[in-house]
Amino acid sequence: MRPRTRLSAAAVILGLCAAASQDEPAPPPPPDLPRAFIDGTGPGWRALTLADFVNVNGAADTWSEKDGSILCTGVPLGGARSVEPLENFELVCEWRHHAEAGNSGIFLWCPESAFTDLPPGKLPRSGIEVQVLDLAYETRYEEQHGKPSDWFTSHGDVFPVGASSMKPFAPAAPNGSRSFPSARLTRGVGEWNHYYVRAVNGEVRLWVNGREVSGGNECAPARGYLALESEGSLVEFRNLRLRELP
């Protein structure tokens, strides 16, 4: 973490995406997340495994795969990026932390420079981060400081890192650095959480456990690598599925 017709929803989204151009804003998603986007099923969707990622600066055992899940020890700090860069896409995944106050993230649109000669112990230098944070991280901060955090939450913040930029959707952090979630839906340590991420034409939208909560637009760059973050504690990802869009 860094400080109404009868057409199916899937058909509507595909039609809107096909009609959009790079100069137009991303079309709005449907108001409710359909089952197909929870499961990542239907035409164009494909499963992601550890073979679809490059271990950029981790140890040999930082990233592993077991029973269909990708596991990260969190040590050293760093990332695993997709083999190929992406532009417009949808991503679904489930994640859970195995330790209280666990920290991780999913990075979108990371440029090559985010990983070039990145030493062990350093996080990706840039990209749009979708926060993957256990609830205890926030409660411990409040206990330590005697007040709630005003610059992060543990419920799905979306924010730019390094040289990347983004205009956050409301509600935004008081300093304007990130999009705060409109609802607090994340489940605690040991429990599975579901993310659906839609990244189209420089706009990112995040659904947490089936409900849209945060995002932003005017992202730059809006093409680059997808990455999973190693940030100090054991985290598990499963049912990662991706669909590239026009």
Kindly report, residue by residue over 216-246, the tens digit of the pLDDT: 999 999 999 999 999 999 999 999 999 999 9
- State the pTM of this model: 0.86
Q: What are 119-134's pLDDT values in tens digits?
A: 999 999 999 999 999 9
Domain ranges of the chain: 9-17+25-244
Distance, CA of 54 to CA of 57 (rounded, Å): 9
Q: Which helix (H) or strand (E) holds 92?
A: strand 89-97
Is pLDDT of 17 > 80? Answer: no
Query: Among the listed ranges 20-29, 45-54, 120-129, 148-157, which one has the minimum average pLDDT value?
Result: 20-29
Look at residue 39 and give its three-state secondary structure: helix
Place of tokens 């400080």: 3
* Contact status, residue 82 vs residue 225, Cβ threshold 8 Å: yes
Three-state DSSP state, 53: strand
Per-residue confidence band for 27, with pLDDT thresholds at 50, 70 and 90? very low
**CATH topology assigned to domain 9-17+25-244:** Jelly Rolls (2.60.120)
